[in-house]
A and B are shown apart, each in its own frame.
Chain A
Amino acid sequence: GAVVSQHPSWVICKSGTSVKIECRSLDFQATTMFWYRQFPKQSLMLMATSNEGSKATYEQGVEKDKFLINHASLTLSTLTVTSAHPEDSSFYICSAREFVTYNEQFFGPGTRLTVL
Chain B
Amino acid sequence: GQNIDQPTEMTATEGAIVQINCTYQTSGFNGLFWYQQHAGEAPTFLSYNVLDGLEEKGRFSSFLSRSKGYSYLLLKELQMKDSASYLCAVRGGDSGGYQKVTFGTGTKLQVIP
Contact = CB atoms under 8 A, between A and B. Distances in A.
Interface of A: 34, 36, 42-46, 49, 57, 59, 91, 93, 95, 103-110, 112
Given A44-B87, A49-B100, A104 B41 contact: no
Interface stretch (B58-66, B70-78, B103-111): B103-111
Contacts of A45: 103
Given A44-B87, A57-B98, A105-B101, 8 more contacts: A43-B87, A43-B103, A103-B31, A104-B48, A105-B45, A106-B45, A107-B42, A107-B43
B106 to A, nearest CB: 5
Contacts of B106: 43
A49 to B, nearest CB: 7
Contacts of A105: 45, 101
Contacts of A108: 42
B44 interface: yes
B102 interface: yes
Interface of B: 31, 33, 40-45, 48, 50, 87, 98, 100-106
A46 B4 CA distance: 14
B35 to A, nearest CB: 8
Contacts of B87: 43-44
B58 to A, nearest CB: 15
Closest 7 CB pairs of A and B: A107-B42, A43-B105, A44-B103, A43-B103, A110-B42, A103-B48, A93-B42
Nearest to A34: B101
B41 A109 contact: yes
A36 B35 CA distance: 14
A33 B98 CA distance: 15
9 contacts: A43-B87, A46-B100, A46-B102, A95-B42, A103-B31, A103-B48, A107-B42, A110-B40, A110-B42
Contacts of B103: 36, 43-46
Contacts of A104: 45, 48
Nearest to A60: B1
